[in-house]
Every structure is written in C-alpha cells, then in structure tokens.
Amino acid sequence: MTEPKKVSLQVFHSFTAAPERVFDAWLDPAKAGKFLFATPTGEMVKVEIDARVGGKFSFVERRDGVDVAHVGEYLEIERPKRLVFSFGVPLYSAETTRVAIDIVPRGTGCELTLTHDGVLPDYRERTISGWGRILDGLAQNLA
C-alpha cells in the first residue's frame, strides 16, 4: 500500500496592523496563546516559545479533558517578513509538516501568506479552515 501524496496549501489574510505587530504576535507567548491553536471550547494550559532558530515551541490546549499538544521548531526567523517552523500534533501523528509565514507591507497594514507543506490530502480542507480561524483570531487580538 502506498502512502498518499502530501499536498501544499496556502491561506491568505490581510491585516490593518503593521507587519512588525503581526509578526511579533507569533513569537510572544502572551499573545500567541490567545490565537494560535486555541479553540473556542478549549482551555490553553501551556504556552512555551523559544523564539530563535533551532528553538522549539509547545502549545497545549485542554479539549474535553484531553491535553492536545501542538509542537514544532523554528527553522527561519526574519523579522518582520518571514517565519518558518516545523509543526506536529503528536496525539494524532508522529509526522511533522512545515509552515511558512510570509508578511508583506500594504499601506498601513500588511498581507500574510501562510504556506503549509506536507499535509495529507484528506486533511486539506480542514487544515485550510483551521488556519483561517487562527488568522481571524490573530486579527481580533491585534484590533
């Protein structure tokens, strides 16, 4: 049995906030814990960020009594325009994927492109939807 070919997907979002504010929110534990991997019904119980290339992050959200960890390692940090990290959810899979955040200034705000590589085809739409909610949450937290 062959493994399904993994896909790359992109999600776009415009922000009224400056690129620096959008970028910095991804690496600030107090801010990131409010939007990154947070769900409306879960409780964020741990946020750890070692914001340097080679540094790791861990977000643990309690969902219906189950702790779900979202983990990864920072591969590139180019403030305020690019952030790349590995990403995994060990409870569901031992595999990791790669996420790149690219931010381009637009007027007084910016545009963000999120590229997620290595997604299983069956999870494509769910992953796009999840990142969309995360980016909407980021926008709300920056407002």
Global pTM?
Answer: 0.93
Reduced to 3 states (helix: H, G, I; strand: E, B; else coil), residue 67 is strand
Tens-binned pLDDT, residue by residue, of the chain (143 aa): 566 789 999 999 999 999 999 999 999 999 999 999 888 888 899 999 999 999 999 999 998 899 999 999 999 999 999 999 999 999 988 899 999 999 999 999 999 999 999 998 989 999 999 999 999 999 999 98
Q: 131 with 112: CB under 8 angstroms?
A: no
Q: 99 with 128: CB under 8 angstroms?
A: no
Domains of the chain: 7-142 (3.30.530.20)
Listing DSSP states for 32-71 in one string gives: HHHHTT--TT-EEEEEEE--STT-EEEEEEEETTEEEEEE
